[in-house]
Amino acid sequence: MDRIQPLLKRKLGSQLIGYLLALGSAAAIAATFVVRKSVSTKVNPATFSVWWYGLAGVYAWIAVLIRGEARKAEGIRSGWKPTLGLVLFNAGGAILYFMEIDLTNPALVSFFGRLRTVYIVLMGVLFLRERLNGLEWTGAAVTVLGTLLIAYRGGPVLSLVFLLALVENLLMAAATIMAKFAVRHIPPFVLAGYRGVLISLVILAYALLTGQWEWVDGRTMAIMAAGALSGPFLGHVMNYASLARVDAGKAAIIAAMQPLFVTVYTALLFGDLPTLQQAFGGALTIAGVIVVFAAHDRGITSERERIESGKQGRTEAEAQRD
């Protein structure tokens, strides 16, 4: 892989590789939904989370050793604070996330997941003092409208899933921001290793304290082991690698396509499709996310152009004086 990446960079460019990694991440993480749904009657969400993230962590550390990146694990010394935040927020969100999948169609859970975008935008306003333009607010409103449309007249179960999703996506949004800070200090494979093992330990403690720990049969374990290679391992490694190459907003636009992958997987494996109303609501959530990040990216580009124009003007003025 180390020999292939420089060749790809020369032919495709770093940004395009980042976009392809984001797309691959969306497809891989989408597998999480169907794997969980397939074993939902065999193992509870807490126990599933322990094995799911633990196996992903083991895979990541094996990859770290194979790639000869063991020394880079020392990056945790400077990046332990965002890594700890990532682990705690992700652990809390994971349990709620798998509860949602157990209760309804995985595609609907994925559509609700677009609420994470709205939370990330709001966190930028509240904590990073970012300013949003009218188009960004419009996109956020469309995303929220889409999730409400999915839940509208969906019955008590879907209403419960919606409430769980509100809390879960708040936690996952915070974890996403922590990951962006952590990846500055820790390489993607190493970060995935820390993330998987530490989340597994946190949820194991929770499962033992609440009496939810249970043993898993061999067939279920085999399904989880295969699934963990895709979703929490390869999916998140590609996500972190993408964040290291392109702006988070651009990567998020591509990640917004994840529900489409989940819908296809769910239809093929379970024959379960959203209703027309739910599908329309899901389309609105995706459209809203794309509008938010497209508007945000345009604002960043305009600001850069303004700064560059200002620099050029000062340079010309200085040249005229000389």
User: CB of 245 within 8 A of CB of 17?
Assistant: yes
- What pLDDT, in 10s, does the model give residues 40-65? 889 999 999 999 999 989 998 998 89
pLDDT at residue 211, as a whole number? 94
d(CA 284, CA 145): 7
Q: How confident is the model at residue 93 (pLDDT cuts 50, 70, 90)?
A: very high
**Global pTM value:** 0.72
Q: What is the pLDDT of residue 306?
A: 55
Specify if 309 maps to a domain: yes
pLDDT value, residue 91: 93
pLDDT at res. 151: 76
Q: Kindly tell me if the per-residue pLDDT of 312 is higher than 70.
A: no
Who wins on pLDDT, 104 or 293?
A: 104
Q: What is the Cα–Cα distance from 98 to 87, expressed in whole angstroms?
A: 16
Q: pLDDT averaged over the chain?
A: 82
Asked if residue 184 belongs to a domain, the reply is yes
Encoded tokens for 178: 């922590």
E strands, the chain, in order? none
Q: What is the pLDDT of residue 218?
A: 93
**Taking residues 59-84, what's their average pLDDT?**
86
Give me the residue label for tokens 């003092």.
129
Domain-located, residue 7: no
User: How many alpha carbons lie under 13 Å from residue 87 in its C-beta half-sphere?
Assistant: 25
Question: Which structural domain, as residue segments, surrounds residue 189?
Answer: 13-321
Neighbours of 286 (CB within 10 A): 22
Helix/strand/coil for 69: coil
Note whether residue 5 is domain-resident: no
Q: Is residue 149 assigned to a domain? A: yes
- Side chain identity, residue 270: F
The mean pLDDT value for 164-185 works out to 89
Q: What percent of the chain has pLDDT over 90?
A: 27
Higher pLDDT pick, 274 / 225: 225
Which of the four pLDDT bands, split at 50, 70 and 90, describes residue 309? low
The answer on pLDDT for 205 being more than 90 is yes
More confident residue, 300 or 156: 156
In this prediction, what percent of the chain has a pLDDT beyond 70? Answer: 84
For the chain, what is the radius of gyration of the CA atoms? 21
Q: Is the pLDDT of residue 225 over 90?
A: yes
Give CA 197 to chain center in angstroms: 18
How does DSSP classify residue 3? Answer: T
- The confidence score (pLDDT) of residue 217 equals 94
**Running DSSP on this structure, what letter comes out for residue 68?**
T
Instruction: Look at residue 40 and give its three-state secondary structure.
Output: coil
At residue 275, the 3 state secondary structure works out as coil
pLDDT given for residue 14 in this prediction:
74
DSSP character at residue 128: S
User: Of 3-7, 80-84, 85-89, 133-137, which gets the smallest average pLDDT?
Assistant: 3-7
- pLDDT of 270 above 80: yes
The predicted pLDDT at position 315 comes to 53
8 or 223, greater pLDDT:
223
What does the alpha-carbon distance between residue 106 and residue 315 come to, in Å, rounded to a whole number? 56
Tokens representing residue 62 in the block: 């094996």
- Single-letter amino acid code for the residue at 157: V
Q: Which residues contact 306 (CB under 8 A, 6 or more apart)?
A: none
Q: How many domains does the chain have?
A: 1
Whether the predicted pLDDT of 201 surpasses 70: yes
